[in-house]
C-alpha cells in the first residue's frame, strides 16, 4: 500500500508541475501578444496589420520558436516599419526553415539580424532558403548566425550574404568544419567589402574563395593552423532549438578572429 501511495503522490505531483508550467508558458505568450499589440498601435499600424502581427507571433511560437525570440523578430519588423504582409512573409520563411532544419533560436536570431539591418521580406526569404541548403550539408546554424552578423555589420547586402552562406555550405560539404568554412569565407567577404567591392564583384570573390578551398584543401588546412577537436563541431551540427549558444557569445564584426591568410 505504501509503495502504491508513493507512486500516486509522484504522479499527482508531476501533473501539478506540468499544469503549472503550461500556465507560465501561456501567460508568457499572452504577455508577448499584448506587447505586440501595444507596439504596433504606437507605430500606427492598421487594425489589419496589428491582427497580422499577432497572428505571426502565434505561428512562430507554434512552430517551436521560443516566445522571447518570436517577440523580438516581430517587434524588430514593426520597428522597421514593415507592413503586416511583409511581417507575415518574414515569419513564413523563418517558420519554414525552423520546421525543416530545427535550431529555432539561432535561425530566429538570423532573421532578427536581417530585419534590423534593413533587409526586405523577399531578401530574408532568399537568405533563409540558402540557410536551409547550407544546413542540409551539415553547416551549423550557429556559424551561419555569426557569419550573418559579421557580414551585415560590415555593409554586405542580401545577395552577398546569400553567396557567402552558400559558399560555407559547399566548403562544409567538402569536409571542412563549419567553423573553418565560416572564418575563411568571412575573411574574404569582409576584406572585399573594405576594398569597396559590391554586387557581383563581391559575390565572385566569395565564390572563388570557396573554389580555392575545395581545390587546395590540405594546403589550406595546414596554413589555417587551427586543430580543434571535434566535440564542439559536432555539437554545432545538432539541429534542435536547445543545441545553441546565446547570440551574444560570438560574432559581431571582430575581423581579428579571421587570422588565416594566403
Instruction: Work out the burial of residue 120: count CB atoms within 10 Å of its CB; fewer than 13 is exposed, 13-18 middle, 19 or more buried.
Output: middle
Does residue 217 fall inside a structural domain?
Answer: yes
What does the pLDDT profile of the chain (262 residues) look like in tens digits? Answer: 455 555 555 444 444 444 444 444 444 888 999 999 999 889 888 999 999 999 999 999 998 889 999 999 999 999 988 888 999 999 999 999 999 998 999 999 999 999 999 999 999 999 999 999 999 999 999 999 999 999 999 999 999 999 999 999 999 998 888 998 999 899 999 999 999 988 889 989 998 888 888 777 766 666 554 444 333 443 444 444 444 434 434 455 444 444 433 4
Report d(CA 193, CA 199) in Å as an integer: 10
Does residue 240 fall inside a structural domain?
Answer: yes
CA nearest neighbour of 110 among 137, 130, 83? 130
Does residue 249 fall inside a structural domain?
Answer: yes
pLDDT value, residue 219: 66
Does residue 94 fall inside a structural domain?
Answer: no
Contacts of 49 (CB under 8 A, 6+ apart): 40, 83, 84, 87
Backbone dihedral region for residue 235 (phi beyond 0: left; psi -120 to 50: alpha; all else: beta): alpha
Does residue 111 fall inside a structural domain?
Answer: no
pLDDT value, residue 63: 87
What's the N-to-C CA distance of the chain in angstroms?
75
Structural domain range at position 164: 140-262
Report d(CA 88, CA 127) in Å as an integer: 16
And the C-alpha cell for 50? Answer: 496589428
Does residue 229 fall inside a structural domain?
Answer: yes
Does residue 92 fall inside a structural domain?
Answer: no
Number of compact structural domains in the chain: 1
pLDDT value, residue 29: 87
Does residue 35 fall inside a structural domain?
Answer: no
Amino acid at each position: 500500500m505504501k509503495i502504491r501511495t508513493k507512486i500516486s503522490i509522484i504522479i499527482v505531483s508531476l501533473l501539478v508541475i506540468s499544469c503549472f508550467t503550461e500556465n507560465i508558458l501561456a501567460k508568457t505568450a499572452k504577455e508577448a501578444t499584448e506587447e505586440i499589440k501595444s507596439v504596433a498601435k504606437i507605430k500606427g499600424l492598421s487594425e489589419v496589420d496589428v491582427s497580422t502581427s499577432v497572428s505571426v507571433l502565434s505561428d512562430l511560437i507554434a512552430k517551436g520558436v521560443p516566445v522571447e525570440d518570436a517577440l523580438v523578430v516581430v517587434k524588430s519588423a514593426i520597428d522597421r516599419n514593415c507592413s503586416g504582409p511583409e511581417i507575415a512573409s518574414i515569419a513564413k520563411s523563418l517558420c519554414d526553415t525552423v520546421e525543416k532544419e530545427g535550431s529555432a533560436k539561432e535561425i530566429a536570431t538570423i532573421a532578427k539580424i536581417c530585419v534590423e539591418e534593413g533587409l526586405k521580406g523577399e531578401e530574408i526569404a532568399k537568405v533563409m532558403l540558402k540557410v536551409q541548403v547550407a544546413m542540409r550539408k551539415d553547416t551549423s546554424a550557429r556559424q551561419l548566425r555569426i557569419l550573418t552578423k559579421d557580414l551585415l555589420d560590415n555593409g554586405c547586402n542580401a545577395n552577398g550574404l546569400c553567396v557567402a552562406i552558400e559558399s560555407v555550405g559547399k566548403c562544409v560539404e567538402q569536409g571542412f568544419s563549419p567553423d573553418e568554412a565560416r572564418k575563411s569565407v568571412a575573411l574574404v567577404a569582409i576584406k572585399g567589402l573594405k576594398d569597396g567591392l559590391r554586387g557581383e564583384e563581391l559575390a565572385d570573390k566569395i565564390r572563388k574563395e570557396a573554389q580555392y578551398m575545395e581545390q587546395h584543401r590540405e594546403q589550406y588546412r595546414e596554413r589555417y593552423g587551427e586543430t580543434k577537436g571535434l566535440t564542439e563541431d559536432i555539437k554545432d551540427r545538432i539541429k534542435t532549438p536547445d543545441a545553441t549558444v546565446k547570440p551574444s557569445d560570438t560574432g559581431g564584426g571582430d575581423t581579428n578572429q579571421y587570422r588565416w591568410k594566403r
